[in-house]
Chains A and B, each alone.
Chain A
Amino acid sequence: MADERPEGRDILVKVDNVSMHFGANPVLREVSLEIPVGQTLVLLGESGCGKTVLMKCIIGLIRPTRGQVYFNGADLAKLSEKGISQLRLRFGFVFQNAALFDSLTVGQNVAFPLRQHRNMSPDEIRELVMENLASVGLPDDVVNKKPAELSGGMRKRVGLARALILNPELVLYDEPTTGLDPIMTDVINELILRTRRRGMVTSIVVTHDMATARKVGDRIVMMYPLSRLEPNEPQIIFDGPPDQLDTVRDRRVRQFVKGEAGQRLMEMRTAAGQ
């Protein structure tokens, strides 16, 4: 279980009434969140409910159709392209499939942010890369390998080492344990916890895995797909500490937590017109 965190901290990320449409397809509707410094927030929800889109809005990779996102009080929409690029040095993003650059070696991938933004000698860069790879439990000999030569778990850990190399204030994890075996899943969970302990790091973790959510999160937010919500229903159907998940009355939350299909198969068949 995650450490208890003191209340009344500064707000690092504020999502204010954010809505997002892709063409005629709405994905987010008036979502609001405030994330204090040092909190680990776990975003739960069915596939397609807009968790990843919300995360990409938070780091300015996607500009919301309506609403504002603030980082440390700065409105992302009012920043220039260069301003957002500078701000992103304070973020670390661990992508679902690691998103390592195929054409670069593991070492070059991890060194990429340093080469872009730090004026360091090749020896200093190499030393820091090796240190970061070792901290995620990867041996020295992976440094010259291409991402395609690594297993899924190793790729995720390289992605984590790359995301952390600039010591970010906010780390975003997009389904960090999807597709991994139970042991590797726990290794990634431990790495997330260790990253948080390293400093006052704020984390947002998107996951479907309840074990991960309970282990790393000190706040759980559950979203629901807009296609199955009434026009005036809020998209966030749960927001609270992990231990409240077991006592919540909302059928949709209970169903997700317990991993039960319930009426979903029937609903899907009805929607498909069978």
Chain B
Amino acid sequence: MASAAELGRPPSHSFVDRITNWIADWGQVFIEGITALGKFGLFVWRTLGWTMQLPKRETIFPNFYSVGVSSLPVVALTGTFIGMVLAVQSYAQFAQMGLETRLGAVINMTLVRELGPVLAATMLAGRVGSAMAAELGTMRVTEQIDALASMGANPIRYLVVPRFLACLFMIPALTAMADFMGVAGGHFYSVWVLGIDIHHYWSNSADFVSTFDLFSGIIKSVFFGSAISLVACYQGFNCDAGAEGVGRAATASFVYSFVVILILDLFLGILLESINQSIETAGSGLM
């Protein structure tokens, strides 16, 4: 928060002045917050507007490659280990109650609905989002974004839309990959290391995990992917000058993306659960 001196006010020690300054400082913070939110909203609106006119092919493929193909090993590794860790953590409790064959249902349900999408998105917010913010931030401070605009190329269309589309399509694909590898990792640890019966492991999974569960995770990842790209590109575009500014943009991109992922996860979870309940109610009504 800016001090009284920074805001050009004379320092004062009277109680009323201090209260006035305190209110003014918080007012300033509030105005700055609303302004930043408005600017972000405008940025999102312009990006969606330019998405209607597809960008040139030469700008799309490198971004799809860098977001999708280059992230594949790290996302596959993350998924595999999440599956195995879930097996390790859940086994002791389930074995105490003699329910270890239910492990498949727990691991696979948790993976496809929650941990797969959220952890894949978190990993990608770090790997892809921070890199985007740093790259665009560097382009901002070295005037490359101004150069683009000065040559009649719209920077949002040329730089943001391809990244947005790459995240929109590739992050759900990577989430499906993380889910698959997590399921494989959970299977490997439960069946091969803990010795749980393979038939019961999978029949319990099939009983509890529905197609809707799988799709609800993928639907979430579409929103996570969009949020990661928009937050990262916004931070890059509004980067402060110098190496410090670029570093701050990369850090802010990850932190804000992570917060947005968690908030979206909650609200999408509530929304998708209520849709699921409606489908089930409608289905039982038909029977």
Q: A85-B152, A86-B152, A116-B153 are in contact. Are A93 and B8 (CB under 8 A)?
A: no
Partner of A97, one of B138, B142, B154: B142
- A64 CB to closest chain B CB (Å) equals 16
Question: Size of chain B's interface in residues, with CB distance under 8 A?
Answer: 15
**21 interchain pairs, CB-CB under 8 A:** A24-B8, A56-B146, A59-B150, A61-B146, A85-B149, A85-B153, A88-B149, A88-B151, A88-B152, A89-B152, A93-B146, A93-B147, A95-B143, A96-B143, A97-B142, A97-B143, A99-B142, A99-B143, A100-B147, A102-B138, A102-B142
0/1 interface trace, chain B 141-166, chain A, CB 8 Å (1 if under): 01110110111111000000000000
Cβ-defined contact, A116 with B150, below 8 A: no
Instruction: Show the binding face of B for A, using Cβ within 8 Å.
Output: 7-8, 138-139, 142-144, 146-147, 149-154
- A246 CB to closest chain B CB (Å) equals 34
Q: Is A81 an interface residue (CB 8 A)?
A: yes
In the bound complex, what is the Cα–Cα distance between A93 and B7 (angstroms)?
Answer: 36
Cβ-defined contact, A116 with B151, below 8 A: yes
Q: Which residues on B sit within 8 Å (CB–CB) of A24? A: 7-8
Q: Is A91 an interface residue (CB 8 A)?
A: yes
Closest chain B residue, CB of each to CB of A90: B152
In the bound complex, what is the Cα–Cα distance between A97 and B152 (angstroms)?
Answer: 19
Partner of B151, one of A56, A97, A112: A112
- B138 CB to closest chain A CB (Å) equals 8
Instruction: Show the binding face of A for B, using Cβ within 8 Å.
Output: 24, 56, 59, 61, 81, 85-86, 88-89, 91-93, 95-97, 99-102, 112-113, 116-117, 162
- A1 CB to closest chain B CB (Å) equals 30
- A170 CB to closest chain B CB (Å) equals 11
Q: A24-B8, A96-B143, A102-B144 are in contact. Are A61 and B152 (CB under 8 A)?
A: no
Q: Which residues on B sit within 8 Å (CB–CB) of A116? A: 151-153
Cβ-defined contact, B151 with A61, below 8 A: no
Cβ-defined contact, B152 with A113, below 8 A: yes
Q: Which residues on A sit within 8 Å (CB–CB) of B8? A: 24
- B49 CB to closest chain A CB (Å) equals 9
Cβ-defined contact, B151 with A101, below 8 A: no
In the bound complex, what is the Cα–Cα distance between A88 and B139 (angstroms)?
Answer: 20
- A225 CB to closest chain B CB (Å) equals 18
- B43 CB to closest chain A CB (Å) equals 13
New A-B pairs, 19, CB < 8 Å, besides A59-B150, A97-B143, A116-B151: A24-B7, A61-B146, A61-B149, A61-B150, A85-B149, A85-B153, A88-B152, A89-B152, A95-B143, A97-B142, A100-B144, A101-B139, A101-B147, A102-B138, A102-B142, A102-B144, A113-B152, A116-B152, A162-B151
Q: Which residues on A sit within 8 Å (CB–CB) of B153? A: 85, 112, 116
In the bound complex, what is the Cα–Cα distance between A162 and B143 (angstroms)?
Answer: 15
In the bound complex, what is the Cα–Cα distance between A9 and B269 (angstroms)?
Answer: 67
In the bound complex, what is the Cα–Cα distance between A117 and B7 (angstroms)?
Answer: 46
In the bound complex, what is the Cα–Cα distance between A85 and B153 (angstroms)?
Answer: 7
Q: Which residues on B sit within 8 Å (CB–CB) of A93? A: 146-147, 150-151
Q: Which residues on A sit within 8 Å (CB–CB) of B139? A: 101
Closest chain B residue, CB of each to CB of A92: B150
In the bound complex, what is the Cα–Cα distance between A95 and B8 (angstroms)?
Answer: 35
Q: Which residues on B sit within 8 Å (CB–CB) of A86? A: 152
Q: A24-B8, A97-B142, A99-B142 are in contact. Are A85 and B154 (CB under 8 A)?
A: yes
Q: Which residues on A sit within 8 Å (CB–CB) of B144? A: 99-102
- B51 CB to closest chain A CB (Å) equals 15
In the bound complex, what is the Cα–Cα distance between A96 and B151 (angstroms)?
Answer: 16
Q: Which residues on B sit within 8 Å (CB–CB) of A91? A: 150
- B37 CB to closest chain A CB (Å) equals 17
Q: Which residues on B sit within 8 Å (CB–CB) of A101? A: 139, 144, 147
Q: Which residues on B sit within 8 Å (CB–CB) of A97? A: 142-143
Q: Which residues on A sit within 8 Å (CB–CB) of B146? A: 56, 61, 93, 95, 99
- A58 CB to closest chain B CB (Å) equals 11
Q: Which residues on A sit within 8 Å (CB–CB) of B142? A: 97, 99, 102
Closest chain B residue, CB of each to CB of A81: B154
Q: Which residues on B sit within 8 Å (CB–CB) of A112? A: 151, 153
- A157 CB to closest chain B CB (Å) equals 15
Q: Which residues on A sit within 8 Å (CB–CB) of B154? A: 81, 85
In the bound complex, what is the Cα–Cα distance between A43 and B156 (angstroms)?
Answer: 31
Cβ-defined contact, A88 with B143, below 8 A: no
In the bound complex, what is the Cα–Cα distance between A63 and B7 (angstroms)?
Answer: 24
In the bound complex, what is the Cα–Cα distance between A89 and B142 (angstroms)?
Answer: 21
